């Protein structure tokens, strides 16, 4: 009986231990595979972004593939348009110029569920292809819904800046912008003046608006439950030109009917 009890106790201990190990392994895998909250680390301060992995799963999975590969480490904000967006994710500072383009993964299917309002992060893409997003993203500085929610199939909003994070994003947008040649014709630089530009002072890592890294903070897929992101209600509205096209089609049909009637009358003669 004593041996039996010892065996039983050992079996229970082994069972609980295996369960704990499996649970821990599952948690580790979840942290790698399905993060919901990430932290952007910058010289101006760190801020958090809550990802919408349930509403935009393909886009979040795509974004996290770059995050988990540390592809965004020491990337830069390469485009800043006042009252519009700041954009990054495409280029890295590797200690010297020229900047290095980040290797792109496969294109991701567009998921225009939420609206491009202030404080959201969305995927950048080619102007001729709604499903062309890869590694570049942008933060909406203002409500861009009227401009971006229908343009090119809508721009996929896949997360929202939380806490006081927009103060840091706004600080990025407030930096002086310079033209360093396409595609860096509106690049923000820190501690760099117009006089420095005129005097051709070399631009270094101390001047770029770096994204030092993006890291996973919370892998719980339900961390967005308390958020109330604005839905994209414009994406399904018919374009005005479509309405005009519809009227044009009706007019063509009417002309066709008149032509048939005329032909019938001519045949009678």
Query: Would you say residue 147 lies in a domain?
Result: yes
Residues 84 and 103 in one domain: yes
Residues 150 and 174 in one domain: yes
Residues 195 and 218 in one domain: yes
Query: Would you say residue 19 lies in a domain?
Result: no
Number of separate domains in the chain: 2
Query: Would you say residue 7 lies in a domain?
Result: no
Residues 221 and 243 in one domain: no
Query: Would you say residue 4 lies in a domain?
Result: no
Q: Rounded to whole angstroms, how far apart are CA atoms 264 and 67? A: 70
Residues 177 and 260 in one domain: no
Q: Rounded to whole angstroms, how far apart are CA atoms 175 and 156? A: 26
Supply the CATH number for residue 217's domain. 2.40.100.10
pLDDT at 18: 36
Residues 83 and 146 in one domain: yes
Instruction: Look at 22-31, 88-97, 113-122 and tell me which has the smallest mean pLDDT.
Output: 22-31
pLDDT tens figures, 248-268: 333 433 444 444 444 333 343
Domain ranges, residue 174 = 29-233
Query: Would you say residue 124 lies in a domain?
Result: yes
pLDDT tens figures, 23-60: 443 333 333 434 589 999 999 999 999 999 999 999 99
Taking residues 2-31, report their average pLDDT. Answer: 39
Is residue 127 within 8 A of residue 152, CB to CB? The reply is yes
Cα 167 → chain centroid: 19
pLDDT over threshold 90, residue 240: no
pLDDT at 184: 95
Residues 129 and 244 in one domain: no
**φ, ψ at 253 (rounded to 5°):** -65, -45
Q: What percent of the chain has pLDDT over 90?
A: 67
Query: Would you say residue 10 lies in a domain?
Result: no
pLDDT at 238: 64
Query: Would you say residue 223 lies in a domain?
Result: yes
pLDDT tens figures, 123-179: 999 988 999 999 999 999 999 999 999 999 999 999 999 999 999 999 999 999 999
Cα 70 → chain centroid: 16
Token pair of 33, please?
């595979």
pLDDT over threshold 60, residue 247: no
Residues 181 and 53 in one domain: yes
Residues 133 and 253 in one domain: no
Backbone Cα Rg of the chain: 27
pLDDT at 225: 76
Residues 255 and 138 in one domain: no
Residues 248 and 127 in one domain: no
Task: Select the more confidently predicted residue: 200 or 15.
Answer: 200
Query: Would you say residue 111 lies in a domain?
Result: yes
Which residue pairs, CB below 8 angstroms and at least 24 apart, start in 56-61?
A: 56/111, 56/113, 56/114, 56/156, 56/157, 56/158, 57/111, 58/108, 58/109, 58/111, 59/108, 59/111, 59/123, 59/133, 59/156, 59/158, 60/34, 60/158, 60/159, 61/34
pTM flag (> 0.85): no
Residues 193 and 255 in one domain: no
């Amino acid at each position: 009986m004593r041996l039996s009890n010892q065996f039983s106790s050992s079996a229970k201990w082994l069972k609980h231990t295996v369960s704990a190990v499996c649970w821990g392994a599952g948690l580790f895998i979840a942290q790698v595979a399905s993060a919901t909250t990430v932290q952007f680390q910058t010289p101006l301060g760190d801020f958090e972004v809550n990802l919408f992995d349930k509403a935009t799963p393909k886009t979040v999975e795509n974004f996290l593939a770059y995050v988990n590969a540390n592809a965004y480490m020491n990337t830069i904000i390469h485009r800043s348009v006042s009252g519009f967006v700041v954009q990054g994710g495409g280029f890295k500072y590797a200690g010297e110029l020229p900047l290095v383009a980040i290797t792109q993964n496969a294109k991701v299917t567009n998921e225009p569920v939420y609206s491009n309002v202030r404080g959201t992060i969305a995927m950048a893409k080619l102007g001729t292809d709604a499903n062309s997003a890869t590694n570049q993203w942008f933060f909406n500085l203002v409500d861009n819904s009227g401009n971006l929610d229908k343009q090119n199939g809508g721009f996929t909003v896949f997360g929202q800046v939380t806490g006081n994070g927009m103060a840091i994003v706004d600080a990025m947008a407030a930096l002086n912008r310079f033209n360093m040649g396409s595609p860096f014709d509106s690049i923000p630089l820190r501690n760099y003046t117009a006089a420095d530009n005129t005097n051709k002072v070399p631009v270094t890592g101390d001047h770029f608006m770096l994204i030092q890294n993006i890291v996973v903070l919370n892998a719980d897929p339900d961390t967005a439950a308390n958020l109330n992101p604005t839905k994209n209600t414009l994406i399904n509205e018919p374009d005005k030109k479509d309405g005009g096209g519809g009227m044009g089609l009706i007019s063509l049909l009417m002309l066709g009917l008149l032509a048939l009637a005329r032909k019938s009358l001519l045949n009678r003669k």
